[in-house]
Amino acid sequence: MELANIEKLLEKYLNAETTIQEENQLRNYFKNDDIAPHLEEYKPLFSYFEESRNDSFAQDLRLNTSNKKETRWKWMSVAAMLILFVSAYTFINKKKEYEAREAYAQTQEALQLISKNLNKGQQIALNQLGKIEHNQSKIFKNPKQ
Amino acid sequence: MKQSEFLKLVMPFKDKVFRVAKRMLVSTEEAEDATQELFLKLWKNKKSIPKYKNLEAFAMTVTKNYCLDRLKSKQAGNLKLVHSNYKEKETPLEKKIETNDAVSKVHEIIEGLPEQQKLIVQLRDIEQYEFHEIEEMLNIKQTAIRVSLSRARKTIREELIKQHNYGVS
């Protein structure tokens, strides 16, 4: 390519007025080994651009990593729910047991009271019965004498 | 949308995203993380993909914003981007650059440019996007892009001439 043309393009290039096509012309020119000596300083610039374009992303794209995090959260919430349910269940059970125990104690007390009173009543009745028998024997003994 | 469909859609520009991220974040590892992050984001929002006229341009915009955020948080954390970051993992490309001093000098010069000029040089001179595409990606007027690009190209050239003359004399 004509040197004059390259010089013109370079000036446009520095003013950022070149099109992609024109820039490619420049690239191609500087790929050559025989570059005009006064344009030598441009060569590393264009070879740097060329080399930079070869740098590539070597890893695989990981699209599932966040899902791992999400599932971990899900599992944690499930575990939390379980713990909540279990503790609520045991709490309710305990409460029921406590209530049952209380009811049992109250009934026992009541029954105790009843049996105590009954015993007392029995005693009194027995005493009275004894008295009656005693009197009776007195009465029925005397006429025979 | 299936994963395979999605991958077919994004594969053509995954290297570009990576290179743009690397240009901005300097370190290869950071750039790899950013690339993974970006495509994960796109994949999660796959339902809205059909809405974008130009998915590639949208991806570039998101990449740019993500990288700027990373840079900001780094500065806040007092972590300077230093050159040692860049050397931590040698890719074949970097080795090749090292063999050619002048070419690696270009890398350093571009590294030293202001953030926006760096990004525009990357998008135009390396990724070869048209100006209207860059306009869409960066949300900057074409004229302003041209001004920035011209400034960047001239700076690089001046630095290279300095270097060149230094080598000769």
CA of A48 to nearest chain B CA: how many angstroms apart?
A: 5
The backbone region for B26, taken as left when phi is positive above 0, alpha when psi lies in -120 to 50, beta otherwise, is left
Mutate which of B36, B49, B122 to disrupt the A interface (most A C-beta within 10 Å)? B36
User: Phi, psi at residue B91, to the nearest 5°?
Assistant: -95, 160
Task: Using the Cα atoms of residue A89, residue A92, residue A93 and residue A94 in order, give the sign of their dihedral.
Answer: positive
* ipTM score over 0.90, yes or no: no
Task: Using the Cα atoms of residue A110, residue A113, residue A116 and residue A122 in order, give the sign of their dihedral.
Answer: negative
Residue A12's Cα: distance from chain center in Å?
A: 61
d(CA B50, CA B93): 35
Mutate which of A22, A24, A38, A41 to disrupt the B interface (most B C-beta within 10 Å)? A41
CB-neighbour burial class of residue A50 (10 A; exposed 0-12, middle 13-18, buried 19+) = middle
∠ CA B3-B4-B10, rounded to 5°:
85
The CATH T-level fold of domain B90-169 is Arc Repressor Mutant, subunit A (1.10.10)
Looking at domain B1-89, its CATH architecture is Orthogonal Bundle (1.10)
Per-residue model confidence as pLDDT tens digits over A88-144: 999 999 999 999 999 999 999 999 999 999 988 888 888 888 888 888 888 887 655
Contact B36 A41 (CB under 8 A): no
Q: What is the pLDDT of residue B167?
A: 61
Residues 18-77 of B with CB under 8 A from A: 18-19, 22, 32, 35-36, 39-40, 43-44
Q: A45 to chain B: which residues are within 8 Å by CB?
A: 106, 156-157, 160
Q: State which residue of chain A sits closest to B121, comparing Cα positions.
A: A49
CA of B141 to nearest chain A CA: how many angstroms apart?
A: 14
∠ CA B53-B54-B58, rounded to 5°:
115
Per-residue model confidence as pLDDT tens digits over B54-94: 899 999 999 999 999 988 887 766 555 555 444 445 555 65
Which amino acid is present at B118?
Answer: K
The answer to whether domain B1-89 and domain B90-169 are alike in fold is no
Per-residue model confidence as pLDDT tens digits over B115-168: 999 999 999 999 999 999 999 999 999 999 999 999 999 999 999 888 777 665
Contact A14 B17 (CB under 8 A): no
- The residue extents of the domains of chain B are 1-89, 90-169
Q: State which residue of chain B sits closest to A42, comparing Cα positions.
A: B157
- The residue extents of the domains of chain A are 3-52, 94-145
